[in-house]
């Protein structure tokens, strides 16, 4: 069990997909205009990541080497579409907020990267935990980024306005995403280095 928890923590911290692996920058920058959006996108990705990691770890041995990438992509795309359809049908309220982000998960390179570098070489249980860890790491990063951008850009926290006024709109727009990401990455690495020294 300790090993499994190790896998999760590795995904959140040592191999954080956003701050360390620097993967999946497109959804990271595009969907973090508020903390809620970041959180939602992170959780949706984590869910797909767990399912796709599980499936791919089960079928990886049956897939010939040269066609593994197209096979993984088809499996991932199928899962994303299933999640999208189920949410649209049975959880319409969540789908209304998350809807536009769901199809984006197919092209999120984190999912394919974990399929290729972890799930295809490890067992089913480890792969689920890897999906969970990486997914939580991604969620954490996106929520932080959304939190900072929303706070500076709109003076609000999780949709609640702190003071009146427009805030620094730049932070909600695209350039703000780059600024916020850069500074959060510096912060994350300073903290990480301290922990590693201990």
User: Which span (39-47, 60-68, 177-185, 187-195) binds another protein, by CB under 8 A?
Assistant: 60-68
Indicate the residue among 109 and 168 with the shorter CB distance to another protein: 168
Least CB distance to another protein at residue 81 (A): 6
Distances (CA, A) of 126 to 1, 60, 132, 170: 10, 14, 10, 41
| CB proximity list for 134: less than 8 A, separation 6 or greater | 11, 15, 17, 46, 49, 110, 114
Separation CA 196–CA 163 (nearest Å):
39
Q: Which of 70, 97, 178, 189 binds another protein (CB under 8 A)?
A: 70
**Candidate segments 45-53, 76-84, 138-146, 186-194, binder of another protein by CB under 8 A:** 76-84
Q: Among residues 36, 45, 26, which one has the least CA distance to residue 178?
A: 26
Contact letters (x/-) for another protein, 85-124, by CB under 8 A?
xx-xxx-x---------------------------xx---
Q: Which helix (H) or strand (E) holds 161?
A: strand 160-161
Contact footprint for another protein (CB under 8 A): 33, 60-68, 70-71, 74-75, 77-78, 81-82, 85-86, 88-90, 92, 120-121, 153-154, 166-167, 169, 172-173
């Amino acid at each position: 069990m300790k090993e499994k928890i190790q896998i999760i923590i590795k995904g959140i911290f040592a191999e954080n997909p956003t701050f360390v692996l620097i993967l999946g920058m497109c959804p990271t920058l595009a969907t973090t205009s508020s903390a809620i959006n970041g959180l939602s996108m992170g959780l949706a990705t984590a869910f797909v990541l767990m399912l796709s990691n599980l499936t791919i770890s089960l079928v990886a041995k049956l897939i010939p080497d040269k066609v593994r990438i197209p096979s993984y992509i088809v499996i991932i795309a199928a899962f994303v579409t299933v999640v999208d359809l189920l949410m649209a049908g049975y959880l319409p309220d969540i789908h209304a907020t998350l809807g536009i982000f769901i199809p984006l998960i197919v092209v999120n390179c984190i999912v394919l990267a974990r399929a290729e570098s972890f799930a295809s070489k490890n067992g089913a249980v480890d792969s689920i935990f890897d999906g969970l860890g990486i997914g939580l790491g991604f969620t954490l990063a996106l929520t932080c980024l959304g939190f900072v951008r929303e706070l500076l850009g709109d003076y609000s926290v999780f949709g609640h306005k702190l003071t009146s006024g427009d805030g620094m709109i730049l932070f909600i727009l695209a350039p703000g995403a780059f600024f916020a990401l850069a500074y959060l990455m510096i912060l994350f690495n300073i903290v990480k280095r301290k922990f590693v020294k201990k």
